[in-house]
Amino acid sequence: MRDKRIILCDADDTIENLCQIWVTYLNRMYGTTVHSSEIVDWNVSLFFPSLTKEQVYDPIFNKNFWKEINPIDGCYKVLEEINKRDELYIITATNYQTCDTKIERILEMYPFLKWSQFIITERKQLVYGDWLIDDGVHNFDGGVYKGILMSQPHNKNFNAEENGLIRVHGWDEISKILL
């Protein structure tokens, strides 16, 4: 019998502000005026109709881009406490071309984490955990974990309760569930 729970936690838009930085980056590069709150679909390119898909997704493959991400408000203390109490793994669908830079930045932001706590996969359902904290609704389908859905504009129309998930709007709510 285990004495610690296994907590799986997504990275992008769950512990760091990818969408906000991405939109700001594109606006700066191309003179667009999109706000991150307008990104209400997983396909970011829909909100930049004047740009090609390549232009929209190019920042993700730029190693310097990942140096601009920052922690989500309130995450540090809660994640640190979860890390002390449970087996915590950061599970992310990171592209192999920028994996090192993204993870190095996350380790800078959260120095209590170790490289061995990262799992890189697009199929999170293949990984066992007691809980998954994520903003991507597709990551809960078929998983064998309880789900905490981090509310973001791109999942606002998804009925979390109807799909057996707990929707949260910040790390203070996650603290009440897991700590």
pLDDT of residue 1: 65
pLDDT of residue 2: 75
Percent of the chain exceeding pLDDT 70 equals 99
Strand ranges in 10-161 using DSSP code E only, listed in sequence order: 87-92, 118-120, 131-134, 146-150
Strand, helix or coil at 15? Answer: coil
Q: What is the pTM of this model?
A: 0.96
Question: Could you report the per-residue pLDDT of 87-108, keeping only the tens digit for each?
Answer: 999 999 998 999 999 999 999 9
Instruction: Spell out the domains of the chain, with CATH numbers in brackets.
Output: 6-17+71-178 (3.40.50.1000), 18-68 (no CATH)
Question: Could you report the per-residue pLDDT of 14-50, keeping only the tens digit for each?
Answer: 999 999 999 999 999 999 999 999 999 999 999 999 9
pLDDT of residue 168: 98
